[in-house]
Structure 1
Amino acid sequence: MAENSAPAYGEGVPCWVDAQLPDVEAGKRFYGELFGWTFEPAEKAHSALGGLVWARLDGEPVAALAPKTDGRMPTVWTVYFATPDARALGRRITEAGGTLISGPFPVDGLGAAALAADPEGAVFGLWQPGSLSGFGRSREPDTFVWAELYTRDTAAANAFYGALFHEALFGSGTEPDFGRAHVTDAFPAEMPPHFVVHFRVADLDAALAAVRRLGGRVQVPPFDASYGRVAVVTDNQGASFALLHR
């Protein structure tokens, strides 16, 4: 996979997403049909990510699919925040009460990745760019457009992420791709805080019909949010994500 021409991302800006799936081939069929993505295997990924494939739209990198290495782990989409130094950011995360779960480790010679969790347990990734700065395309149909953190303590989340990524969240002239929402009593009490990755679609109704046809399901029917009209769905293996029209 060659380097992309995307501009460098400032620290704390969502710059990449991947899905950990039981069956990557099934994931390729699902997302290839839903978003028109094509796929190519990673050649030099860290051993923990064996079987990783890159997803492209019109030749540009937009996401990755990776096989779960442990069946006990959740089937999920993960958002990655850019950083010039993943090891240093990992130390700041632990000092602020979060956890560094794994990494940093090299990925296909393109950069380094790590996984972390905030003090409430919401998992997110870190990406330290090498030749790959992040998305080759985003904020357009069939690509990443937003990440929403569902948390039981929005004040604590704002303090934690604000301290880590103040410029990305609150700096002048920035256009955030990351929001925080309160987990209300409408959600099951056992549901942990988590990020929901959003992909932009040109036609929400058509996209929902495609999700159902491909074996996925609609978790939350369309609703109006401050950043657009949203529906939360799962793919045919249970990974949750959102479709956004705006």
Structure 2
Amino acid sequence: MAENRASVYGEGVPCWVDAQLPDVEAGKRFYGELFGWTFEDWFGSFAQALKDDEPVAALVRKVDGRLPTVWTVYFATPDAPALARRIRDAGGQIVSAPVPAGELGVTALVTDPEGAVFALWQPEEHPGFGKRHEPGTFAWAELYARDTEAANTFYGDLFQEALFGEDADPDFGRAPVSDVFPTQMPPHFLVHFAVEDVPTALEDVRRLGGRVQAPPFETSYGEVAVVTDDQGASFALLRR
């Protein structure tokens, strides 16, 4: 099963997301109620989220209080060290060099030339999402950049097949930071989760202690609202 799942995530396809949180147990309560997730605890500080018994995300305990409380998107690759070198050569940075994550795969943390952070995933026993594009699962990642033309060039060169190939069905786009956020906001990726109804989901976010950063707005890929959880991690709700 893992081998079959891995085959659908070509290089440059978003294949996983995780949240770095100060309190994983609080995260379980928030996201469990919001999205109907259940959880498997791994390695003490890592909880894998399941939707209908399929892996959809992870919550990870933040070990350094100086690190941001964030959702991170992972892009699939068959060779994380080689992709990390290409990213560096294209003007990006390697924040954390490729390292094995047990028997699950190989991971690295990198940035694009503007500093937007994303991760790489070279799958072994853990191929990535078992379910996506359904309510309560990953649906999209939007890069909010200062220079969208430069971003298109950088990611287009890295992930040509995933973005522009014959069978491309990309799960991420690029937009100016100022479209949604204050102009001083750093470039970043925003992880989107699918919901059946955005206003209802916003009510749930507020009830659970989160807040609304940007009320619903229309995009080329659906209706979106930007929110934070009760620990400050930002994400988006998307109804296609």
Asked whether the two chains share a fold, i.e. TM above 0.5, the reply is: yes
Instruction: Quote the offset at 1:3 in angstroms.
Output: 4.6
Instruction: Quote the offset at 1:59 in angstroms.
Output: 0.8
Q: Is there any run of 5+ residues in structure 2 with no aligned partner, and where? A: none
Report the more deviating stretch, 236-245 or 189-198. 189-198
The match for 2:38 is 38
The match for 2:187 is 193
Q: Which of these residues, 125, 128, 137, is aligned with residue 131 of structure 2?
A: 137
- TM-score normalised by the chain length of structure 2: 0.96
Instruction: Quote the offset at 1:109 in angstroms.
Output: 1.6
Q: Is there any run of 5+ residues in structure 1 with no aligned partner, and where? A: 44-49
1:150 aligns with 2:144: yes
Q: What is the count of residue pairs matched by the alignment?
A: 239
Instruction: Quote the offset at 1:114 in angstroms.
Output: 0.8
User: C-alpha separation between the residues in 2 aligned to 1:236 and 1:87?
Assistant: 35
SS in structure 2 at match of 1:25: helix
User: C-alpha separation between the residues in 2 aligned to 1:184 and 1:209?
Assistant: 26
1:238 aligns with 2:232: yes
User: C-alpha separation between the residues in 1 aligned to 2:168 and 2:181?
Assistant: 31
- TM-score normalised by the chain length of structure 1: 0.93
Instruction: Quote the offset at 1:108 in angstroms.
Output: 4.0
User: C-alpha separation between the residues in 2 aligned to 1:54 and 1:34?
Assistant: 16
Matches within 5 A, 1:154-193: 154-184=148-178, 187-193=181-187
User: C-alpha separation between the residues in 1 aligned to 2:87 and 2:176?
Assistant: 22
- Aligned letter for 1:36? G
The match for 1:91 is 85
SS in structure 2 at match of 1:197: strand
Q: Which of these residues, 33, 48, 52, is aligned with residue 54 of structure 1?
A: 48
Contact 1:60 1:136 in 2 (8 A): yes
User: C-alpha separation between the residues in 1 aligned to 2:154 and 2:179?
Assistant: 23
With over 3 angstroms needed to count, the CA separation of the structure-2 counterparts of 1:107 and 1:186, relative to structure 1, is closer
1:116 aligns with 2:83: no
Instruction: Quote the offset at 1:187 in angstroms.
Output: 3.2
- RMSD, matched Cα: 1.5
Structure 1 moving runs of 4+ over 6 Å? none
- Aligned letter for 1:154? T
SS in structure 2 at match of 1:120: coil
With over 3 angstroms needed to count, the CA separation of the structure-2 counterparts of 1:189 and 1:224, relative to structure 1, is closer
- Aligned letter for 1:91? R
Contact 1:3 1:110 in 2 (8 A): no
SS in structure 2 at match of 1:103: strand
Quick one: percent identity of the two aligned structures? 69
- Aligned letter for 1:12? G
The match for 2:10 is 10
Give per-residue Cα distances to partners, 1:122-157, cap 9 Å, x unaligned.
Answer: 000000000221100001110001000000000110
User: C-alpha separation between the residues in 2 aligned to 1:185 and 1:204?
Assistant: 19
Matches within 5 A, 1:216-227: 216-227=210-221
